[in-house]
Amino acid sequence: MSDFRQRALDYHAKPTPGKISVELSTPADSVDDLALAYSPGVAEPVREIAEDPDNAYKYTAKGNLVAVISNGTAILGLGNLGPLASKPVMEGKALLFKRFAGIDAIDIEVKHRTTEEFINTVANIADTFGGINLEDIKAPECFEIEQELIKRCKIPVFHDDQHGTAIVTAAGMLNALEIQGKNIENAKIVCLGAGAAAVACMELLIKCGAQRERIYMLDRKGVIHTRREDLTEHKSLFANNTDKRTLEDVMDGADIFVGVSGPDLLPPETLALMADNPIVFACSNPDPEIRPDLAHAVRDDLIMATGRSDYPNQVNNVLCFPFIFRGALNVRASAINDEMKVAAVEALRAITKEEVPAEVLAASNSKSLSFSKDYIIPKPMDPRLCERIASAVSKAAIDSGVAGI
Ligand X SMILES: O=C([O-])CC(=O)C(=O)O
* Catalytically annotated residues: 38, 93
Smallest separation (angstroms) from ligand X to the CB of 118: 18
Restricted to residues 8-37, the positions that interact with Mg ion (CB under 5 A) are none
Q: How many residues bind Mg ion (CB under 5 A)?
A: 2
> What is 266-319 written as a DSSP string?
S-HHHHTTSPSS-EEEE--SSS-SS-HHHHHHH-SS-EEEES-TTSSSB--GGG
Query: What does residue 84 show for φ and ψ, rounded to 5 degrees?
Result: -65, -40
Nearest position to ligand X, beta carbon: 285
**Residue span 118-157 as binding mask against Mg ion, x where in contact by CB under 5 A, dash where not:** ------------------x---------------------
What is the identity of the amino acid at 225? H
Binding residues for a divalent metal cation: 135-136, 161
The entry of ligand X, Mg ion, none that residue 133 binds, CB within 5 to 8 Å by partner kind: none
Smallest separation (angstroms) from Mg ion to the CB of 291: 21
Is residue 109 a contact point for Mg ion (CB under 5 A)? no
Question: Residue from 91, 104, 161, 203 that binds ligand X (CB under 6 A)?
Answer: 161
Judged by beta carbon, residue 63 or residue 77, the one nearer ligand X is 77
The entry of Mg ion, ligand X, none that residue 285 binds, CB within 5 to 8 Å by partner kind: ligand X
The entry of ligand X, Mg ion, none that residue 382 binds, CB within 5 to 8 Å by partner kind: none
The entry of Mg ion, ligand X, none that residue 287 binds, CB within 5 to 8 Å by partner kind: none
Smallest separation (angstroms) from Mg ion to the CB of 161: 4
Long-range contact list for 358-363, CB < 8 A, 24+ apart?
359/383
The entry of Mg ion, ligand X, none that residue 307 binds, CB within 5 to 8 Å by partner kind: ligand X
Smallest separation (angstroms) from ligand X to the CB of 268: 23
Q: How many residues does the chain have?
A: 405
Query: What does residue 67 show for φ and ψ, rounded to 5 degrees?
Result: -95, 130
Is residue 317 a contact point for ligand X (CB under 6 A)? yes
Is residue 316 a contact point for ligand X (CB under 6 A)? yes
> What is 235-276 written as a DSSP string?
HHTT-B--S--SHHHHHTT-SEEEE-S-TT-S-HHHHTTSPS
Binding residues for (S)-malate: 285, 316
Tell me which H or E stretch contains 399.
helix 384-399
Task: Tell me the C-alpha distance between 263 and 285, whole Å.
Answer: 8
φ/ψ bin of 403: left (φ > 0), alpha (ψ from -120 to 50), beta (otherwise) = beta
Judged by beta carbon, residue 313 or residue 316, the one nearer ligand X is 316
Is residue 255 a contact point for ligand X (CB under 6 A)? no
Is the separation of the CB atoms in 101 and 326 below 8 Å?
A: yes
**Residue span 119-158 as binding mask against ligand X, x where in contact by CB under 6 A, dash where not:** -----------------x----------------------
Is residue 161 a contact point for Mg ion (CB under 5 A)? yes
Give the 3-state secondary structure percentages of the chain, helix then strand then coil, rounded to 5: 45, 10, 40
Query: What does residue 210 show for φ and ψ, rounded to 5 degrees?
Result: -65, 150
Judged by beta carbon, residue 76 or residue 155, the one nearer ligand X is 76
Q: How far is CA 199 from CA 171, 190, 204, 239, in A?
A: 16, 12, 9, 12
Which of 208, 143, 136, 127 has the alpha carbon at shortest distance from 165? 136
**Residue span 56-85 as binding mask against ligand X, x where in contact by CB under 6 A, dash where not:** --------------------x---------
Instruction: Give the binding site for ligand X (CB under 6 A).
Output: 76, 89, 136, 160-161, 285, 307, 316-317
State the residues that interact with Mg ion by CB under 5 A. Answer: 136, 161
